[in-house]
Amino acid sequence: MAQEPQEYIQQKVNPILENLVTQLLLERPEQLAPFMIKWLSQNSKTPAAAALTEGVNVLSELKLEMEKLQEEVRELEAQVEAKRGDKTGPLTAGSEAVDALQSMEESEDDEEVEDVVPPPALTSRGHRASVSAEAYGQWNPEKAFVAPVYEKSDEQKTRLANVLKESFLFSGLESPDIKIVIDAMQEKIVEKDTRLINQGEDGDCLYVVEEGQMNCYIRRQDGAEDMVKECTSGDAFGELALLYNCPRAASVQAAERSVLWELGRESFNNIVKKAAVAHRDQLEEFLLKVPLLKGMDAYERSSLCDALQPTSFAQGDVIVQQGDIGDVFYILQDGSATVSKVYVAGTPAKEVLKLGPGDYFGELALLKGEPRAASVIALTECKCYTLSRRTFNRLLGPLEEILRRNATKYD
């Protein structure tokens, strides 16, 4: 009998993903796909990868053998039909054999689909949390979730809210979800040199640092440890075990007395992860409606989703000031804004155009390396997505000609 899906994931898939994610976090390559392909090819002889490869090879061999048998049956059918002429139909026994082979193949395909659950997708962790959906089915039914509530003073809630604003992991949550997360967190004081997490152990929670410093270590083959990261105020750690349902990828020890906030697995999966998945789906749907980005393929659009940062402006805020040095590109998600320009020093600014959802601005300073060509002021409360200069050049570089052509709208 084939392995149960959950057992297959834990024993075969997770060890490979754990090592791959660790290398991604250590090296943070600009191009994820080539790095991952190269790493997998170089590490394909590990026990877990070898087992996985062996399983794929067995399936391939079975399918090839099935195809050969089908071809032999067809040849036999043709020979017998040629001898019988047109008086009789196709060979019954041959047809039954073909039907049996097709049934076996369909049965095998069905079993393959049921038994092999795709591993969680990996995305860049530069600015946004990686998101992986929990696998649910008969072996792992989804349960109704009620978030725990741990009593806190108003002062503690305010402190925690300020910390979460600085954490990339929680930056995409809406206010109601932030409130639920705050209620579900517990304060934890860790004294200096305390080993809070050990590499290889099962993980059932993550931590966010409010004060102090926690150092992350990865164990080498010779048993020695290398420090790979310092976690300070606003940083989160321990999330990989929750995202990928795998053992701890590193050990974490307190460099000094630290104040942490702990969030359990169930709360993380049902609040943070689900909200992040929903937010990403909404963002991809929005980007499909932006005329400028219609020429991007699915991979490019996905990369853009990982890089965009949300920001908000109140009515009357100056989003972009003419003459300032610009290093940010904006896409207006919600609200309206006006673009105005001073053509002669000392004269009033003239409105050039109005902007609405799906419009973009701020690209001229990035394309030409010049100061902002116009000012942009929020007419209503505005929600925007932003790209830094470096990310703009990497992701939207192929659109430079379109951007330059559209630049006449400011004239």
Instruction: Say if CB 13 and CB 52 are below 8 A apart.
Output: yes
Q: Is 280 annotated as a binding residue?
A: no
Q: Is 248 annotated as a binding residue?
A: yes
C-alpha distances (whole Å) from 64 to each of 69, 106, 112 are 9, 14, 16
Instruction: Say if CB 188 and CB 214 are below 8 A apart.
Output: no
Q: Is 300 annotated as a binding residue?
A: no
- Backbone phi, then psi, for 146, in 5-degree steps? -120, 115
Q: Is 219 annotated as a binding residue?
A: no
Annotated binding site for 3',5'-cyclic AMP: 239, 248, 363, 372
Annotated binding site: 239, 248, 363, 372
